């Protein structure tokens, strides 16, 4: 399945853009753009997504290089954590009132 | 406008039966959640969004022209830098929106083709000329002001990529509106000729800005469906009313008169009563017979043709580099 927006009909491919807003923070997806190659994609991303000091670093990834979980199998794919609330600290209530726990 | 699903046990073969994926779509909409590009969606939903988002993108791109007109003639270097930044923002907004539309399966090139062939619509407001510097003020204050009023609720549109693009756009638009207001305020604090220029400009832009919210509710056939799909959150008339309510006190600060003799506070309803909008003019401009339709499209067509060799060269260079990388 091709990535949304990355189709054969496009003369320039679509790129997904990730920006690190400051040191110590991970790159976050901010949007997409189209560009002929990776070098121009980075430049376009700078002009398009960091006009107001939004970032200190940019990643661009060809949209069709991203592999995704099957959207139709959403329920089944993410089922296993359901019903396993013992994985969360909030499951354990008997220690209530005890400090530093 | 959603038809209640027919229970499966009663009519398994019925065409009214909602498929599992359609049910999931309906549930997401009912829960006011978001639809993402890979989700199943009704064809009508996809088409409506492609139409709305691409028209919106075209409006941003064509919207660069009335202001681009003044970049070389801005009254100071500071004004020129501000205007350049603003026009660059409009280009950026167009690109965010084109990318959002592309996630629905339409190509960038097809959208551009539709625009330059005159087959696509864009906001009728950009078919008005901008003959004076005060128009830079009116466009920011009234046109961008109306756009913000329209766009803030779109940040919650049910289609994820559209809503996210709108969040970025709204953040940037607030600078546009304020800089427009400042241009008018400086003119209103200036000489009598400058005040007259500001007032004359507001007179020309006021009504077209009110038309930006679209036809009145009883003449807006697609609105009900868009509201049922959580694309649209408020009706055209509601948003227009809200906008006028914000403008009146702002006009008082500026010292300009809004050119509507019937505009007055309605104590009972708690809103402003307004005069009749000239919808004939609106439909004329939409139909391509506005003061600057032909000029705007020609400019866009020329820009596209003049950029052809750049696009081709960039694609050829990318192809060559890709071959080198393999070798």
Q: Does B314 touch chain A (CB under 8 A)?
A: yes
Q: Does B19 touch chain A (CB under 8 A)?
A: no
Helical spans, DSSP H, in chain B: 20-30, 43-62, 64-68, 77-102, 108-116, 134-138, 144-151, 160-188, 192-211, 223-228, 236-254, 279-284, 293-306, 308-326
Supply the pLDDT for residue A4.
66
Identify the residue whose tokens are 């002001």.
B145
Supply the pLDDT for residue B315.
87
Closest by Cα among B140, B33, B51 to B100:
B51
For the cut 80, the answer to whether the pLDDT of residue A81 exceeds it is no
Please answer yes or no on whether B103 and A40 come within 8 Å at the CB atom.
Answer: no
- Cα-Cα-Cα-Cα torsion B290, B272, B225, B108, nearest 10 degrees, comes to 40
Facing B95 at nearest CB: one of A4, A33, A37: A33
Out of A46-60, B5-19, B139-153, pick the least confident.
B5-19
Instruction: Give the global pTM.
Output: 0.89
Supply the pLDDT for residue B174.
85
Q: Give the tens place of pLDDT for each residue, B53-105.
A: 999 999 999 999 999 989 999 999 999 999 999 999 999 999 999 999 999 99
Supply the pLDDT for residue A6.
63
The nearest CA of chain B is from the CA of A4 a distance in Å of 4
Facing A36 at nearest CB: one of B40, B95, B318: B318
Instruction: Quote the percentage of chain A above a pLDDT of 70.
Output: 87
Facing A9 at nearest CB: one of B95, B109, B314: B109
Please answer yes or no on whether A33 and B104 come within 8 Å at the CB atom.
Answer: no
Q: Cβ contacts (< 8 Å) between B107 and chain A: which residues?
A: 7, 9-10
Q: Does B320 touch chain A (CB under 8 A)?
A: no
Segment holding A47, helix H or strand E? helix A38-49
Supply the pLDDT for residue B219.
87
Nearest-CA residue of chain B relative to A15?
B99
Nearest-CA residue of chain A relative to B91?
A48
Domain spans, chain A: 12-91
Is the complex ipTM higher than 0.85?
Answer: no
Q: Which of B21, B46, B102 to mutate to test the interface with A (most CBs of A within 10 A)?
A: B102
Supply the pLDDT for residue B7.
39
d(CA A95, CA B147): 54
Q: Give the tens place of pLDDT for each residue, B104-143.
A: 999 999 999 999 999 999 999 999 999 999 999 999 999 9
- Residues with Cβ within 8 Å of residue B88, at least 6 apart in sequence: A47, A51
Supply the pLDDT for residue B13.
45
Average pLDDT rounded to a whole number, residues B204-214: 96
Q: Cβ contacts (< 8 Å) between B109 and chain A: which residues?
A: 9-11
Does the structural domain A12-91 have CATH classification 3.10.20.520? yes
Buried b / exposed e over B257-294, threshold 16 CB at 10 Å, is ebebeebeeeeeeeebebeebeeeebebbbeeebebbe
Facing A36 at nearest CB: one of B40, B165, B315: B315
Q: Does B108 touch chain A (CB under 8 A)?
A: yes
């Amino acid at each position: 399945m091709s990535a949304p927006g990355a189709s054969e009909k496009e003369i320039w491919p679509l790129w997904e853009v990730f920006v690190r807003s400051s040191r110590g923070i991970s790159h976050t997806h901010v949007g997409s753009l189209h560009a002929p190659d990776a070098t121009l994609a980075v430049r376009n991303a700078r002009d398009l997504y960091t006009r107001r000091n939004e970032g200190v670093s940019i990643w661009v990834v060809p949209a069709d290089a991203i592999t995704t979980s099957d959207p139709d199998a959403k329920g089944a794919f993410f089922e296993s954590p359901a019903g396993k609330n013992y994985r969360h600290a909030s499951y354990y209530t008997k220690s209530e009132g005890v400090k530093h726990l | 406008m959603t038809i209640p699903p027919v229970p499966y046990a009663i009519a398994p073969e019925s065409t009214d039966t909602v498929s599992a994926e359609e049910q999931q779509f309906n549930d997401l909409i009912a829960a006011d959640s978001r639809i993402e590009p890979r989700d199943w969606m009704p064809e009508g939903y996809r088409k409506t969004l492609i139409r709305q988002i691409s028209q919106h993108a075209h409006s941003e791109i064509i919207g660069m022209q009335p202001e681009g007109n003044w970049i070389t003639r801005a009254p100071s270097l500071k004004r020129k830098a501000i205007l350049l930044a603003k026009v660059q923002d409009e280009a950026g907004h167009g690109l965010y929106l084109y990318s959002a539309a592309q996630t629905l399966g339409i190509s960038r090139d097809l959208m551009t083709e539709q625009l330059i062939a005159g087959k696509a619509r864009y906001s009728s407001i950009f078919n008005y000329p901008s003959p004076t510097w005060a128009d830079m003020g009116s466009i920011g204050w009234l046109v961008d002001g109306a756009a913000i009023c329209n766009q803030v609720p779109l940040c919650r549109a049910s289609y994820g990529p559209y809503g996210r693009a709108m969040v970025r756009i709204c953040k940037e638009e607030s600078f546009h509106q304020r800089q427009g207001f400042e241009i008018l305020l400086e003119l209103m604090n200036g000489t009598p000729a400058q005040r007259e220029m500001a007032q004359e400009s507001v007179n020309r832009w006021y009504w077209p800005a009110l038309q930006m919210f679209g036809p009145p509710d009883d003449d807006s056939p697609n609105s009900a469906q868009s509201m049922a799909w959580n694309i649209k959150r408020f009706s055209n008339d509601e948003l227009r009313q809200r906008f006028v309510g914000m403008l009146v006190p702002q006009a008082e600060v500026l010292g300009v008169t809004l050119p509507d003799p019937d505009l007055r506070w309605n104590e009972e309803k708690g809103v402003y009563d307004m005069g009749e909008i000239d919808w004939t003019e609106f439909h004329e401009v939409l139909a391509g017979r506005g003061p600057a339709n032909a000029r705007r499209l020609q400019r866009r067509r020329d820009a596209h043709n003049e950029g052809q060799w750049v696009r081709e060269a960039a694609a050829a260079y990318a192809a060559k580099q890709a071959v080198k990388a393999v070798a």
